[in-house]
Amino acid sequence: MSYISDNIMSRTGGWLLFLAALGALAVSLPTTYTVRGGVHFLLVVGVIGIWRYSVGLTHFVRAMYFLKWAYPRFRREAERLGESAAPSHVYLMVTSFRIDAGTTAMVYDSIIREAMECGWPTTVVASVVELSDEMLMRAMWRKLDPPGHIKLKIVRIPGTGKRDGLAFGFRAISRDLPDENAVVAVVDGDTVLEPGVVRKTAPYFRLMPNIGALTTNEFCEVRGSYLMSEWHKLRFAQRHMNMCSMGLSYRVLTLTGRMSVFRASVVTRPEFISDVEYDSLKHWRLGEFRFLTGDDKSSWYSMMRLGYDTFYVPDAAIRTVEHPPDPSFIRSARQLMFRWYGNSLRQNSRATKLGPRRLGWFTWYVLFDQRISMWTSILGLTAAIVAAIKYTGIVLVAYLLWIGLTRLLLTMLLIATGHSVGPTYPCILYFNQIFGSLVKIYVFFRLDRQSWTRQKTRFSADNASFQQRMNRWSSRIMTLSAGSIFLALVMKLV
On the question of pLDDT at 479 being above 90, the answer is yes
User: 107 near 94, Cβ under 8 Å?
Assistant: yes
* Of the candidates 267, 270, 486, the residue with the CA atom closest to the CA atom of residue 379: 486
Q: Is residue 368 part of a domain?
A: no
Task: Quote the mean pLDDT of the chain.
Answer: 89
pLDDT 10s digits, 440-453: 999 999 998 887 65
Q: What angle do CA 427, 444, 491 make, to 5 degrees?
A: 65
Q: Is residue 295 part of a domain?
A: yes
CATH of the domain at 230: 3.90.550.10
Please give the backbone phi and psi of residue 161, each rounded to the nearest 5 degrees, phi first.
120, 160
Q: Nearest 10 degrees: CA dihedral of 429, 434, 436, 439?
A: -170
Q: What is the pLDDT of residue 420?
A: 80
Q: How confident is the model at residue 251 (pLDDT cuts 50, 70, 90)?
A: very high
Domain that holds residue 92: 82-327
Pairing, β 287-290 against β 183-188: unpaired
Q: Is residue 117 part of a domain?
A: yes
Q: Of 44-58, 175-189, 304-318, 417-431, which range is least confident? A: 44-58
Q: What integer is the mean pLDDT of 234-258?
A: 92
Q: What angle do CA 348, 350, 351 make, to 5 degrees?
A: 65
Rounded Cα–Cα distance for residues 215 and 244 (Å)? 11
Q: What is the CA radius of gyration of the chain?
A: 24
Q: What is the pLDDT of residue 453?
A: 58
On the question of pLDDT at 312 being above 90, the answer is yes
Q: Is residue 210 part of a domain?
A: yes
pLDDT 10s digits, 193-243: 999 999 999 999 999 999 999 999 999 999 889 999 999 999 999 999 999
Q: What is the pLDDT of residue 3?
A: 47
Q: What integer is the mean pLDDT of 16-31?
A: 85
More confident residue, 277 or 455: 277
Rounded Cα–Cα distance for residues 197 and 115 (Å)? 10
Q: Is residue 302 part of a domain?
A: yes
Q: Which residues contact 293 (CB under 8 A, 6 or more apart)?
A: 162, 339, 342, 343, 450, 451, 452
Q: What is the pLDDT of residue 464?
A: 55
* Of the candidates 343, 334, 366, the residue with the CA atom closest to the CA atom of residue 436: 334
Q: What integer is the mean pLDDT of 263-277?
A: 94
Q: What is the pLDDT of residue 204?
A: 97
Rounded Cα–Cα distance for residues 243 and 245 (Å)? 5
Q: Is residue 433 part of a domain?
A: no
In whole angstroms, what separates CA 172 from the centre of its chain? Answer: 28
Q: Is residue 426 part of a domain?
A: no
Q: Of 39-53, 154-168, 337-351, which range is least confident? A: 39-53
Domain count, the chain: 1
Strand ranges in 258-331 using DSSP code E only, listed in sequence order = 259-263, 280-283, 287-290, 309-322
Q: What is the pLDDT of residue 5?
A: 56
Rounded Cα–Cα distance for residues 89 and 485 (Å)? 57
User: 200 near 109, Cβ under 8 Å?
Assistant: no
Q: Is residue 231 part of a domain?
A: yes
On the question of pLDDT at 163 being above 60, the answer is yes
**Neighbour-count burial for 250-268, b at 16+ CB within 10 Å, e otherwise:** bbbbbbbbbbbbbbbbbbb
Rounded Cα–Cα distance for residues 350 and 291 (Å)? 13
Q: What is the pLDDT of residue 43?
A: 66
pLDDT 10s digits, 85-135: 999 999 999 998 888 889 999 999 999 999 999 999 999 999 998 899 999
